[in-house]
Amino acid sequence: MKTTEIRIIVYEYQSIDELSGDDQNLLQNARRITATAYAPYSGFHVGAAVLLENGTIVTGNNQENSAYPSGLCAERVAMFYANANYPEASVKAIAISAAKNAVLVNEPVKPCGSCRQALAEAEVRFGTPIRIILDGQDSIMVLNGVESLLPLSFSKKDL
């Protein structure tokens, strides 16, 4: 038998002011777009902002549907819009924020499994890691690459 250990590096900040100017701007966009999420069932408003290599920022938010699971998460809304409208631009970073009752959640919000897989696909598609910024009142977590969120991910090499 062989044992393999997987280590994940997470950079944790106590305030948005500790981030670089670009990361602050991206996170502010994610926070802003939470306000227009369509979340009448959960009341959990999520916003995502994607920075493309060409400098464009694309935002998206969660869109719930009474015929669950027909809705879509903020991360995939933003990523799919970016890929559809800027198919040649790689994704440099994504910031994800969430609010409940119009108040930023305490713990950094994390993407669901489907969103992690969509982010992994974007990394494979463009061959470049995506910087991931997860927002919360208590801290902001930054990860360099989807492998930190989804180790041993499934990709086209597995087909």
Residue 147 a catalytic site member = no
Which residue ranges form the domains of the chain, and what is each CATH number?
Answer: 19-152 (3.40.140.10)
Catalytic residue among 75, 88, 107, 123: 75
Evaluate if pTM is beyond 0.75: yes
Alpha helical stretches, state H, the chain:
21-33, 74-85, 113-126
Single-letter amino acid, residue 116: R
| 60 within 8 A of 84, measured Cβ to Cβ | no
pLDDT 10s per residue in the chain (159 long)? 999 999 999 999 999 999 999 999 999 999 999 999 999 999 999 999 999 999 999 999 999 999 888 899 999 999 999 999 999 999 999 999 999 999 999 999 999 999 999 999 999 999 999 999 999 999 999 999 999 998 887 777 788
List b or e across 126-154, with b for residues whose CB sees 16 or more CB atoms inside 10 angstroms.
beebbbbbbbbeeebbbbebbebbbeebe
What does the alpha-carbon distance between residue 101 and residue 151 come to, in Å, rounded to a whole number?
33
